[in-house]
Amino acid sequence: MKPQSDWKNSIDSIVDMGLSHRLVQRTTEDETFNGRTICLNNKHVLNFALCSYLGLELDHRLKQGTIDAVTRYGTQFAISRAYMSATPYTELEHLLDELFEGHVLATPTTTLGHIAALPILIEKDDAILIDQMAHSSLQTAAKLVQAEGVPVETLVHGNLELLEERIDALSKQYRHVWYLTDGVYSMFGDLAPVKELGKLLNRYEQLHLYFDDAHGMSWTGKHGRGYVLNCLPIQERMVVATSLCKAYAAGGGALIFPNAQMHRQVKNCGGPMIFSGPIQPPMLGASIASARIHLSPEINRLQRELKDRIAFCNHLLRAYEIPVENSAQSPIFFVKLGRPEVAGEMAKSLLDQGFYTNHAVYPAVSRRKSGIRFTLTTHLSAEDIHGLVKAIARNLPKAMESKHKNKA
């Protein structure tokens, strides 16, 4: 195992490379946002890095919900929820209960939701299994539980056979075995095998499932409740965390529990529910407006519009023979390139040609699996998507040549 200083130096050097290409830690120069483009270096480029997949962040109803909440309740309500919650919380959580068909606890962020829930739900005679590509926020929360003596094993991404082997073995030693994973993986855009995990849940009575479905929210599922709950409705021994940011386009997170007891324990005892600030009134107003859209037939139209773009992009990637990590069924796409330097050069070339994408590198992915990550939103047209794919294809030979030189 490398010393911590080596780990920090590796990340520092990779970030420095991104800074030298002007790809990371940027600030937009726009006076207003339109969702489709951003201004960098006094030049407007197409934004293929946005996670507001349905474009709701610019919807007039969410804007008005924010304005109304500020007018009525101010910019903040600076009291811990352990003592008191701002008035809009009652309406929001009622709407979220209806949306998810579970017992919902709104949290300041998805990350703080994990940190509130896992140390309360998982006890010392339990064990944790976690997918290696699970979001960093889940990894962080698992470490807090590990510090209390709970064993944590990281498993090879998506290996169901290994997962079942470990569930079977650990079930003989521990009270509960918790499997932590994403619903939609944030880097590669691939989907967790939720239905298969549901079968394992039925097969092993000690198994508990905990999903982070932040990137699955809104763009799929009944009422936009997300990828996980579309495949497997909430049930005993299962918890889902999701985001009220990203495609939902407001602020905060949500924990969906199968019963009132779990909800009560996390609300009463979870550290961030006691010591962290609440979702503030402006975002409560936006969240209520977004929930109303989700509970209306309009969400179906928005989902179809995005899924048409996803299908079109997949068609183009096949036609241009772009080496993607998988045929995406989500709005997240990943072009495989290899070394961080190659991904950085490709992202820089794309930016110079008018397309802002993410160069995905260590520690978000392993060092040899770097690539270009890009996302689709309803702000982007078919012409925009075609332009990006053509630009990737145009720059790919040079990137592959650079990749082979690095190998040599």
Residue 165 and residue 264 share a domain: yes
Burial 258-294 (b: 16+ CB within 10 A, else e): beeebbeebbeebebbeebebbbbbbbbbbbbbbbbb
Task: Convert the pLDDT of each residue in 59-110 to its tens digit.
Answer: 999 999 999 999 999 999 999 999 999 999 999 999 999 999 999 999 999 9
Residues forming a β-bridge with 332: 375
- Mean pLDDT of the 161-190 span: 96
Return the CATH number at 159: 3.40.640.10
Question: Is 213 within 8 Å of 185 (Cβ atoms)?
Answer: no
Residue 391 and residue 250 share a domain: no
Position 279 scores a pLDDT of: 97
Residue 172 and residue 106 share a domain: yes
Return the CATH number at 398: 3.90.1150.10
Q: Domain boundary residue among 294, 310, 340?
A: 294
Find the domain containing 275 and state its range: 60-294
Give the lowest-confidence range in 107-121, 293-307, 330-344: 330-344
CB atoms within 10 A of CB 295: 15
Residue 125 and residue 228 share a domain: yes
Position 86 scores a pLDDT of: 97
Residue 398 has pLDDT above 80, yes or no: yes
Task: Convert the pLDDT of each residue in 249-276 to its tens digit.
Answer: 999 999 999 999 999 999 999 999 999 9
Residue 143 and residue 20 share a domain: no
The total domain count for the chain is 2
Position 363 scores a pLDDT of: 75
For Cα atoms 131, 132, 138, give the angle at the middle one, nearest 5 degrees: 70
Residue 225 and residue 364 share a domain: no
Q: Domain boundary residue among 260, 279, 294?
A: 294
Residue 277 and residue 310 share a domain: no
Residue 26 or residue 207, greater confidence: 207
Residue whose token pair is 């998810």:
100
Give the contacts of 139 (CB within 8 A, at least 6 positions apart): 130
Residue 303 and residue 273 share a domain: no
Residue 207 and residue 108 share a domain: yes
Residue 289 and residue 229 share a domain: yes
Residue 322 and residue 284 share a domain: no
Residue 32 or residue 366, greater confidence: 32
Question: Is 341 within 8 Å of 406 (Cβ atoms)?
Answer: yes
Position 18 scores a pLDDT of: 76
Position 408 scores a pLDDT of: 47
Q: Categorize the per-residue pLDDT at 406 as very low, low, confident or very high, splitting at 50, 70 and 90.
A: low
Residue 10 has pLDDT above 80, yes or no: no
Q: Domain boundary residue among 277, 294, 311?
A: 294
